[in-house]
Amino acid sequence: MKTINIGIIGYGVVGVGVATLLTQKKKLLEARIGAFLTLKTIAVRNISTDRGVELGNTVLVNDAMQLVNDPDIDIIVELIGGDTTAKQFILKALENGKHVVTANKALMAGHGNELVKAARKNQVDLAFEASCGGCMPIIKSLRESLVANDINSMSAILNGTCNYILTKISQDGSLFEDVLKDAQKLGFAEAEPSLDVDGHDTAHKLAILNSLAHGMEINLKDIHVEGIRNITPIDIEFAKSFGYTIKLLAIGKVHGDHVEARVHPTMIPNTNPLSHVEHSMNAIVIDADATGKTMLYGHGAGMMPTASAVLSDIADIARNIISNTARRVPILGYPEDNIKRISILPMDELYTRYYLRFEAQDHPGVLSQISGILGDNHISIKSVHQKGRQSNGKVPVVMITHIAKEERVQTALTQIYATDSVVGDPIVIRIEEDS
Ligand code: HSE
| pLDDT on residue 233 | 93
| Least confident interval from 100-114, 149-163, 298-312, 420-434 | 420-434
| Phi/psi-derived region of residue 229, left when phi > 0, alpha when psi is between -120 and 50, beta in every other case | alpha
Catalytic residue, chosen from 205, 293, 382, 387, is 205
Question: Would you place residue 182 in the very low, low, confident or very high pLDDT band (cuts 50, 70, 90)?
Answer: very high
Question: What CATH superfamily classification does 347-431 receive?
Answer: ACT domain (3.30.70.260)
Residue to mutate, 188, 195, 228, 304, ligand 1, most ligand atoms under 8 Å from C-beta: 188
| Ligand 1 midpoint to CA 195 (Å) | 9
| pLDDT on residue 370 | 97
Mean pLDDT of 252-257: 94
Q: Is the pLDDT of residue 178 over 60?
A: yes
| Ligand 1 midpoint to CA 281 (Å) | 10
Q: What is the signed CA dihedral for 71, 77, 80, 83, rounded to 10 degrees?
A: 80
Residues 6+ apart with CB under 8 A from 397: 357, 358, 360, 366, 367, 370, 384, 385, 386
| pLDDT on residue 262 | 98
Percent of the residues in the chain that have a pLDDT greater than 90, as a whole number = 95
Q: Is the pLDDT of residue 78 over 90?
A: yes
Q: Is the pLDDT of residue 435 over 70?
A: no
Question: What CATH superfamily classification does 140-299 receive?
Answer: Dihydrodipicolinate Reductase; domain 2 (3.30.360.10)
Q: Is the pLDDT of residue 224 over 90?
A: yes
| Ligand 1 midpoint to CA 378 (Å) | 39
Our answer to whether residue 205 is catalytic in this structure is yes
Measured CA to CA, the distance from residue 167 to residue 151 in angstroms comes to 29
> Which atom, in ligand 1's list, is nearest to the CA of 189?
1
| pLDDT on residue 422 | 94
Q: Tell me which residue of 176, 182, 143, 183 sits closest to 159, measured CA to CA.
A: 183
| Least confident interval from 116-120, 366-370, 385-389, 430-434 | 385-389
What ranges make up the beta strands (E) of 120-175? 126-127, 151-157
Mean pLDDT of 131-143: 98
Using CB distances shorter than 6 Å, the residues near ligand 1 are: 159-161, 188-190, 196, 201, 300-301
Mean pLDDT of 48-64: 95
Among the four given CATH numbers 3.40.718.10, 3.30.420.40, 3.10.450.50, 3.40.50.720, the one describing domain 2-137+303-338:
3.40.50.720
Higher pLDDT, 77 or 256: 77
Q: pLDDT for 344-384, tens place per residue?
A: 999 999 999 999 999 999 888 999 999 999 999 999 999 99
pLDDT averaged over every residue in the chain: 96
| pLDDT on residue 181 | 94
**Sign of the Cα pseudo-torsion (126, 132, 137, 143, in order):** negative
Q: pLDDT for 256-295, tens place per residue?
A: 999 999 999 999 999 999 999 999 999 999 999 999 999 9
Mean pLDDT of 28-32: 98
| pLDDT on residue 362 | 87
Percent of the residues in the chain that have a pLDDT greater than 70, as a whole number = 99
Mean pLDDT of 317-346: 97
Q: Is the pLDDT of residue 414 over 80?
A: yes
- What radius of gyration, in Å, describes the C-alpha atoms of the chain? 24
Q: pLDDT for 373-403, tens place per residue?
A: 999 999 999 999 998 777 677 899 999 999 9
Helix (H, G, I), strand (E, B) or coil at 268: strand
Q: Whose CA is nearest to atom 7 of ligand 1?
A: 301
Measured CA to CA, the distance from residue 435 to residue 272 in angstroms comes to 6
Question: Would you place residue 172 in the very low, low, confident or very high pLDDT band (cuts 50, 70, 90)?
Answer: very high
| pLDDT on residue 327 | 97
What are the boundaries of each domain within the chain? 2-137+303-338, 140-299, 347-431
C-alpha distance from residue 84 to each of 39, 262, 318, 383, 392 (Å)? 25, 26, 27, 50, 48
- Contact in structure between 6 and 77 (CB atoms under 8 Å): yes
